Amino acid sequence: MSIHKTYAVLGLGRYGRAVAEELVNNGAEVLAVDIDINTVNNAIETIPVCKCADITEPETIKRLGISNIDVVIIAMASCLESSVMAVALCKEAGVKNVIVKCSSEMHQKILTRIGADKVIFPEKESGIRLAKNLLTSGFSEMIELSDEVSMLELDVKDEWVGKNLIELSLRKKYSINVVAIKDGNEISTVVDPSIALKKSMELIVIANKSKLPKLKK
């Protein structure tokens, strides 16, 4: 996933709004939907595209163009029935990635069974963290070391395959430092910059967060 994909956030409680705002703040295209008009009016200042609608209705899903959305985040853990209907309708509409917030392990099993691609427990994963993970395409995991610096796992790009770190000059181009290389279950913390990279590898790097968008191009 990345900033270039389109997102829909269904349900604008505290969690859903945090996800939507973080995505918007990072330049992503976001459609936000809630059934309560006051909630929508309160959110529209920070989330430009807000709609008041009942997303458990098939016609609403069609009217909002949900079938054209890359990633849908359903943030209505307080109402399992609504979440179930929303997941089913989004998958029926052809959405490839449906992420849904839930409140219990039993709900997780139900939502997974009807097609949810990922189920989130809000007490374990904040809305802001989810949004950041969605925006870091090609980054398997990201750990914030400070406001400016993160450690992350970076997939080897197709154009990097067969080249070594000396040739790629990643530190100069992207302001990242490779601290380890992962290949399958093996992790090498002694990085040989002359070794040719393989597609199966992942680079564990420390990077300045302001430079991350360059890595996704």
Q: Which pTM does this prediction carry? A: 0.62
**CATH architecture for the domain at 6-135:** 3-Layer(aba) Sandwich (3.40)
What b-and-e string marks burial along 143-176, b requiring 16 or more CB atoms within 10 Å of the CB?
eeeeeeebbbbbbbbeebeeeebeebebeeebbb
Question: How far is Cα 68 from Cα 65, in angstroms, rounded to an integer?
Answer: 6
pLDDT tens for 129-170 read 667 666 655 554 556 566 677 777 788 888 999 999 999 998
**CATH architecture for the domain at 139-215:** 2-Layer Sandwich (3.30)
Alpha carbon 21 to its chain centroid, in Å, reads 13
Give the pair of three-digit tokens for residue 3: 């900033």
Nearest alpha carbon to residue 206 among 182, 177, 180, 181? 177
Domain locations along the chain: 6-135, 139-215
pLDDT tens for 180-204 read 888 877 888 888 899 999 988 888 8
